Structures are given as structure tokens and as C-alpha cells.
Structure 1
């Protein structure tokens, strides 16, 4: 069946930047230029090797400046997930004589949860409130419940956008290292204070996929949890993708320079969405309305199947997400929404790209009520 909106929608509008932001023009230009110069092994002493090493060092310096860290605190990994695993497990391994427990919030990304479950020792999950925010006192109590190797608190939630009190937690940990998954926020908001290790993912800010960033604070105790590899950076393994790292750095530099204007514009558009969707009956907008990522909003519809809604909106020319943000390929119920006590089915996550316009948002809002009503009608409502 062809809906009238199918014929009138001019083309697909991508509203899933929380999964992956389209490649930034700065990244594209840099990647193409670097492919001809960054192919060699940066460990080698010949000319092409030295050229590749120079590009890799330059990429590290640019990322460090953009994130407000030291260049020697930056490591390029094969993905954001790889950076999460190395950061969290490296802190954990370095504290083996102190304790083996990992404390984490209940709404961490699956990469954190899987790493915590894989590591030897117990892992303690800290509950969150209805907005998806963890309580500082609750984290400190969990960390003090027994010998603790590391605490993990994300900078902002990847699924509902709520920011977390990272600096406040860090100020009270009394020596226990803090790991911060900043994949959802890096480039969009400044890094919070107090972390011992942190992780970011380039494709979230418009860099190429397959580039993660691991940050290990100077002086932090960190030991590689994986076999050693004789690379330029001892915290990483495998042949560095020098052109991609340089492209990721170029994109990050560009988005940080544009951040204030982009964030303000996106926050206004998300406010418009949050207000508009409440007019649809039996709709719950989740996440903190103020202390949140500027580009992201999630809402749930009673009596609606999330997968069906994604397909309905895709037919109307809009690419959005449903299910858990970290297991969306299987559309498993969201552990984040469950931890918040929110409706876990019929949810939709909209995340704006840097180029999203008011016209894009208004067009989406124009077709959303009809798509929801259509699905509800199909089940007899």
C-alpha cells in the first residue's frame, strides 16, 4: 500500500546521527589527500614511513587540542567499542592488587556492560532515576561496598541524551579510577573533568567509521588487558589506519569550531520535537529535558511496535532508530529505558545531523502522527 506521503516526500531525510553522523566535508577532503601519503607503516625509518608517522602524530595533536588533553594521552583504536574495552579493562587490570569489582551505571552502553561481564570479579550496577541520571551518592555507595578496581560513568546517555554527573562522582571517589564512555558526546560537548581513561568514536562526530579514540590520563595506572603489539603506541594493537585517523582529527577540529552554533540550533529543534510529540495520545518523551545532549530525543508510543514504526517512517522518507541504541540490529528491548522505568517498546530515537534544518523537523512532525495512527489502526486501536 502506498501512502500519499510516499509520493510527496522529496527524498530520504537521515535523522539517526547518534548511530553515525554523515562524513564531514573536512574529513572527506583530508582522507582523500592522506591516502596518497599515509599508506606506509609509521614505525619504519624510510621516507614513506616517516611521512606516515608525521601524519599520525599530527592527527594525535589535533585530537588532543580539540578535546583539551595532552597529545600523549591520545591513542587511536579500531573503533569506539575497542577504545571502551581497552580503557575500562586497562584500568581494571592495573588495580588487580586492590580489588576486582567494576561499578557502572545501569544505563551504560553495551560495550561497557559486556566488558564488565567479561572481566574477572564482580560488577555492580547502579540504578538511575526516571530521567536516566545516576545519583552521585549511589555511585559512591556502590564503590564503597567492597574492593573496587574501577568505576564507569558515561558522559551522556547514548539513547536518551541525559548527561551524567561525572565530575561530581570523580571528586568523591578518593583514588578509585573513573572510566568515562564519551562516545555519545565527544565533539558535541566538552569532556567532563575527573576521568582516568575515556573513550570516543569518530563516526559519531562525522569522522570515518573504524576509528576510535582512547584517552588515558597522564599518571593514571593503566595496563593493557590484551597481548602486547609492537606498534607506535603501546596502548593500541594492529596497523594504524593513518589516513582515517587524520580524517577523524580534521572532522573533530571542524565540529568543535562549529559546536556552539550547531548545538544551540539543534537544541531549539529538539525542543520543538519534544513539545510537538506530546500532542500524540499515549506518548511518553523520555530523558532530561534540559541537561541533555543537544541533538537527541527519544519518545515511546503505547500500542505501537517500534520496528513497524521505523519501517513506516522509512517509507515516508525518514531514517530514525528504535530498540536499544546498542543492540538495535536485533531490536531488543532497551535496557536503558527499562532502567528508567519507561516504556521499552514502541520507542523512537531521533538524532539530528549537523545539517538538519527546521524544514526537516517540521516535515517529520507532519508525517509522524499519521504513521503512529496507521500502526495503531492495524492492531485494532
Structure 2
């Protein structure tokens, strides 16, 4: 079982399990993108083999009730897999998980290095074919230098974020507050308090997300739209759909290390005009098409 807002890799694994004859239970979320711990616990069954819950949503930044869910899973004898890719190095991950996964590129480590922590005493069998090396854990040789670099990068990144997270979080609060004040018909998405410090998502009515991204990119701002794991497709975000919020015209801002107040100020100053221009273009196109109909 899993939450409905897990990363697409988790949901695709669940689909594969179904195709092989298994059953998958998806637990919904509220409008902030947060799972209800009691609802998640109630969905556990005697034959549940694995529960999956992200530490924080990769798209809207909402923190999940991992510790409460872990307690319920432990009582039911169900191992809990936690996707902590978005939170490792940025926020503390509550305990109680059985398996925990992350990706080094998220904290400035080498791309291609993944981390899987298996709690002692938890059953684990690698899905990869074994050979005679590396104690039959994985085939081939481990990339020790990249693994060491990933660990060193995580230590350094975590120290930086511990000092800088309050400042970055205040900048996100500024975006969450000022965008609805300066841009009409905008919905800021995600939990305003129980969230990651660096991430904010909002949706603008009457604007296509990709068009807004192109306009903001022209102005010097690198932001994202749609699902963070399918941003190169035109598919609506499964996260926003599960939350029941606007799925088009959304912008996801992820503040990087070293971002300054002046950077956020420039973004907030440029955004209203960019949205207004696109809305005028959309309206003009609509009016032209309406007048041209027979």
C-alpha cells in the first residue's frame, strides 16, 4: 500500500506488482497533500506486505506523518518504506521506518548514487541477480569513491541547511504571502507550516504552465511546472490531482543554496506582469477563435 502522492517510481512499482497479480491499496490525502495517519493505519490489512510513505512530498513540500504511520505499521507487523529523497539533508526524518531511500544528487552529491538504508532486523532480498562478489548483495563492483563523495556531500549539505533553513523558509513564506496579493486568481498549494523549507508551489488560473515557464525562463528564472517526476511530459500532475487542486498553470519554485532576498524580490516583481501578459494572449486567442467561427 502507498499514499496517492508518492513519487512516480513508487507508483510504477505498485502497477508492476498489480500486473503480476498482486493488490495495491492507495491512501488519499487532504487538500494540503498530507496523509491522515489514522486513515493510513486503517488501510493496513493482515496480508499487507509493504507500506510506502514519503517523508515529504517532492512537488508541494508537505511533510508526511511518518512517525505516526510507522507506529501503526510496527503494531501491524508491516515494514514501512520511506522515500526521503526530498528531505535528506534538509529536514530531520522521523524514525520508525524499515527502509529509507534517497538520491545523492539532491544534496549536491554525485548523480547516479542512490542510498537505501535497511534497518537491522528487517528482512531484505535484493531484486538484482547475485554473483560471487560483494557478499552476494549486488552484481558487479560498488563505486566506492562516488559513495564516499555522496556521504561527504550529505554531511556538508546538512550542516549548511541547519544554519540556512530558517532564512530560506522565510523567503518561501514571503513568496506564499505575496504571490496571492499581487497576482489575481492564484492558489498557493501545500501545507503552509508542516513543509520543507525550500519548496513552494502555486497555480495560476487562465495560464498554461509550460507557457509560464517559458516566459519566466526568458526573464532569467528557472522554475518547474507539472509533476516533478514527469515535468518533461504534458500529463497533469498526479499529486495535484490527488489533492483536488488546480492541475494547470502551476509553478514549482525550489530555492537553491545561496539564494538571496534580492533574487526572490526580482522574481516577485516580474511574476505579475508575466502572468498578465500570458492571460491577455490567451484571451486574445480565444476572442479571435470565437469571432472566426461560422
**TM-score, normalization by structure 2:** 0.91
Question: Which residue in the other structure is 1:298 paired with?
Answer: 201
Question: Which residue in the other structure is 1:169 paired with?
Answer: 69
Question: Which residue in the other structure is 1:277 paired with?
Answer: 179
Decide whether aligned partners of structure 1 residues 310 and 349 sit closer, same or farther in structure 2, where only a CA change above 3 A counts. Answer: same
Matched, 1:251 2:149: no
Decide whether aligned partners of structure 1 residues 380 and 176 sit closer, same or farther in structure 2, where only a CA change above 3 A counts. Answer: same
How much has 1:249 moved relative to structure 2? 1.4
| Residue from 125, 140, 153 that aligns with 2:41 | 140
Deviations 1:146-184 (Å, cap 9, x if unpaired)? Answer: 510010010000000000001101111221100000001
Deviations 1:306-334 (Å, cap 9, x if unpaired)? Answer: 00011000000010000111111113210
Equivalent runs, 1:30-109 vs 2, <5 Å: 103-109=1-7
How much has 1:126 moved relative to structure 2? 0.3
Q: Is the 8 A contact 2:172 2:200 kept in 1?
A: yes
> Structure 1 regions of 5+ residues with no counterpart?
1-102
Q: Is the 8 A contact 1:322 1:331 kept in 2?
A: no
> Structure 2 regions of 5+ residues with no counterpart?
285-294
User: What count of residue pairs does the alignment treat as equivalent?
Assistant: 278
- d(CA) in 2 for partners of 1:356, 1:292: 18
Q: Is the 8 A contact 1:203 1:209 kept in 2?
A: yes
**Runs ≥4 in structure 1, deviation > 6 angstroms?**
none
| Residue from 226, 231, 236 that aligns with 1:323 | 226
- d(CA) in 2 for partners of 1:235, 1:109: 25
- Considering Cα pairs closer than 8 Å and 6+ residues apart, tell me whether 1 or 2 has the greater RCO: 1
Coordinate RMSD, CA, aligned? 1.3
Question: Which residue in the other structure is 2:30 paired with?
Answer: 129
Question: Which residue in the other structure is 1:339 paired with?
Answer: 242
Deviations 1:102-136 (Å, cap 9, x if unpaired)? Answer: x1000000011011111241111000000000011
**TM-score, normalization by structure 1:** 0.71
- d(CA) in 1 for partners of 2:84, 2:131: 25
Deviations 1:180-237 (Å, cap 9, x if unpaired)? Answer: 0000101111221111101001111111211110110011011112312444364444
Q: Is the 8 A contact 1:153 1:181 kept in 2?
A: yes
